Copies of this chain bind each other. A is one copy, B any other.
Amino acid sequence: MLKLTKTVEYALISMNYIENNSNGKPVSAKSISDQFSIPEELLAKVLQKLVKYKMLESVRGPYGGYKIKTSTKNTNLVYLIESLEGPIGIVDCSISNDCSLLDSCNIKSPIDSINQNIKSVFEKTTLKDIIKGI
């Protein structure tokens, strides 16, 4: 409960590793997967999503891999998480109105408030914090 997925975890580990081991050159999925014992194909898919959402750029072929864009260092974790996993919401009705209770729900307001506060925690954390440590 209240857990991040491995997808998000691997993304953060990778962003940090790429930043600190790049020297301008692309870092391959394989080298990250070796370093942290992450299944390679799984990691590759995560990195490909980060490319899709403009947090990384990719270079194909030998000596290829992934590079971080300086501009993305100010990206906050809500953007990263929601790119990978969809909207953050501690209950379903935080995301969509698919609740069968609707108006009869007696905790919607406090739950919404908590949800907003949790989003704020991730909003205040940027990739820069992840890369450097806090």
Give the number of copies in the complex.
Answer: 2
In the complex, A5 Cα to B118 Cα: how many Å?
A: 16
Q: In the complex, are the beta carbons of B107 and A12 less than 8 A apart?
A: yes
Q: Which residues from B are CB-within-8-Å of A8?
A: 1
CA distance A96 to B134 in the complex (A): 21
Interface size class on chain A is 35 or more
Q: Does the CB pair A134–B110 fall under 8 Å?
A: yes
Q: Are B105 and A13 in contact (CB under 8 A)?
A: yes
* Residue in B3, B85, B134 whose beta carbon sits within 8 Å of that of A90 in the complex: B3
Complex-state Cα separation, A12 to B106, whole angstroms: 9
A21 to chain B, nearest CB (A): 10
Q: Which of A12, A90, A106, A117 has the most chain B CB atoms closer than 10 A to its own CB?
A: A106
